[in-house]
Amino acid sequence: MITIIDYGLGNLQAFVNVYKRLHIPVRVASSVEALSGAEKLILPGVGAFDHAMQRFSDSGMRDTVEQLVHRDSVPVLGICVGMQMLANGSDEGVLPGLGWVPGKVRSFRSVAGLETIAMPHMGWNDVAPVGDCPLFKGFEHDARFYFLHSFYFECAQDQHVVARSEYGLDFGCAVAANNVYGVQFHPEKSHHFGVGLLKNFAEI
């Protein structure tokens, strides 16, 4: 059962629609009780980092989700700001992140030479998988996904970067550490590429 965490942010219905078309059981959880029996978790997110972290903490589900991820090793996929929340923190805010993947979220404009780069990074971009992460099974070549963001995840350890893209600089656009996965792009807006990635996550 794919369980999408509903803490008030993200286009949850788009994920539900994808999984229903794939005939993969899916549900939306907005309470601790609804998380019971979760076999896979999706943590969506849009907007500002601090706002997302606060909403997640206020949802009442954070402690249970952390237990599922760390104690029960339930695979989790963070998407867009949901991926950024996996980090230790962000240049965008002051609240600590979840710290599930060591690293910091940085602004593109904080990089020397990119002070005037157009923000946000928006639209389709090439994605190059690194290693053999199961999220990208079948996408070893010519993978393209839809992006909409102004911050990128800078991993503390290169081994946690599982895909890269380029916007002013080469940056990690997907991360993984044990049963924790994250993608900066929007698979739910990325046509067959995104459908394939969400299917791959369901099969992990």
Catalytic option among 133, 149, 155, 188: 188
Is 186 an annotated catalytic residue?
Answer: yes
Return the domain boundaries, the chain: 2-203
- Bond before 25 cis per omega within 30 degrees: no
Is 39 an annotated catalytic residue?
Answer: no
Q: Are 59 and 30 in contact (CB under 8 A)?
A: yes
pTM exceeding the 0.75 threshold for the entire prediction: yes
pLDDT score of 10: 85
> Residue 127's beta-bridge partner residues?
143
CA–CA distance, 64 with 199 (Å, rounded to integer): 25
Is 173 an annotated catalytic residue?
Answer: no
CA–CA distance, 96 with 116 (Å, rounded to integer): 27
Catalytic option among 23, 80, 115, 160: 80
Query: In this predicted model, what pLDDT tens digit does every residue of 80-110 receive, in sequence order?
Result: 999 999 999 999 999 999 999 999 999 999 9
Q: Are 202 and 24 in contact (CB under 8 A)?
A: yes
Catalytic option among 166, 186, 191, 192: 186
pLDDT score of 11: 87
| CA atoms within 13 Å, Cβ hemisphere of 25 | 5
pLDDT score of 140: 75
pLDDT score of 186: 97
pLDDT score of 142: 76
- Spell out, as residue ranges, where the chain has pLDDT lower than 50: none
Any residues with CB less than 8 A from the CB of 6 and at least 6 apart, and which? 12, 28, 29, 30
CATH class of 2-203: alpha beta
